[in-house]
Amino acid sequence: MTKIEDFVAGRTSAELYETYLTPGFFAPWAEEMAELAAPGQNCLDLACGTGAVSRGLAAKHNNMNIKAVDVAPLMLDEARKQTRSDAVEYHLGSADALPFDNDTFDMAFCQQGLQFFPDKEKAFDEVQRVLKPGGRFAVTIWRPVEEASPVFESFAKAVGRHLGEDLLPLGPFSFGSEERLRRLTEDAGFKIETLEQRTLPSVLPPVEALVLFDVLFLGRPAEDGSLQPVLAPDDPAGDAVVDKIINDMEEDLKSYIGADGNLHGPASTHFMIARK
């Protein structure tokens, strides 16, 4: 059994995501976003993943009506499993064709999903459509990796060194500048109220677990357009490459490894609030 196979141990990608990234990397930002809402509001959680924002909203406020949308069935399955509130409904759907009526929501949230939308302009138009007049849209999206996270900057450097520079920038950190977010938002007709850089402490799993998790999501396009894994989970040859990445990061991140073995470091994102 390879290192990747042993690590996965039959778990889905969504279960791994919830275990290794949500608690210390996404939940703190979900709590920040939940502070923006008010009891009784109708809220949209766009690209909800395993439901961190929806759960944060339901825990923070009473009488919420939360609709959460994602394109990935496995993510929605995990979100439903993790959610204990009747205030949240999960829907399979795309950001550029939302399954809701016009003027439905008081607030819309998108935490670390915008960078993956194939048609970002259409997605912003859809949020405009489903927000009520005066409704607000809150977005977090990682800054470039060298500004966003020393942990993932180290991973990116190791990936480029051992697997190829063509795999960079890493998808979660690929959106880029604040100015691009500003143009996208204003072109969709929103009025920006806040657009700033925010930094919070993060806790990520030990280096080995983080590497084994993240290499699962590295891929190159095949001739048919499908994304093929850079390291096939069942290929024993991948173990040597994984070990090289782990060794590089353990050396690079000595000052971020806590007594608990986890990686403790800052995480920095673009944080925007805009109004329809």
- 163 is written with which tokens? 């697997």
Residue carrying structure tokens 């030990």: 206
pLDDT in tens, 7-57: 999 999 999 999 999 999 999 999 999 999 999 999 999 999 999 999 999
CA distances from 131 to 89, 100, 138 (A): 17, 10, 12
pLDDT at 50: 98
pLDDT in tens, 245-259: 999 999 999 999 999
**What would the mean pLDDT of 126-154 be, rounded to a whole number?**
98
**What would the mean pLDDT of 49-68 be, rounded to a whole number?**
96
* 225 pLDDT more than 80: no
Query: What percent of the chain has pLDDT above 70?
Result: 100
pLDDT at 221: 84
Query: What percent of the chain has pLDDT above 90?
Result: 96
- 59 is written with which tokens? 């825990």
CA distances from 192 to 56, 182, 187, 188, 276 (A): 24, 8, 11, 11, 9
Look up the pTM and report it: 0.96
pLDDT at 222: 81
- C-alpha span between 176 and 172 (Å, rounded): 10
Q: Considering the domain 3-275, what is its CATH architecture?
A: 3-Layer(aba) Sandwich (3.40)
Quickly state the pLDDT bin for 171 (edges 50, 70, 90).
very high
* 240 pLDDT more than 80: yes
Amino acid, res. 80: R
β-bridge mates for residue 136, sequence order:
107, 275
pLDDT at 114: 97
Residue carrying structure tokens 């690209």: 47
β-bridge mates for residue 67, sequence order:
44, 89
Quickly state the pLDDT bin for 106 (edges 50, 70, 90).
very high
Longest CA–CA span in the chain (Å) reads: 56
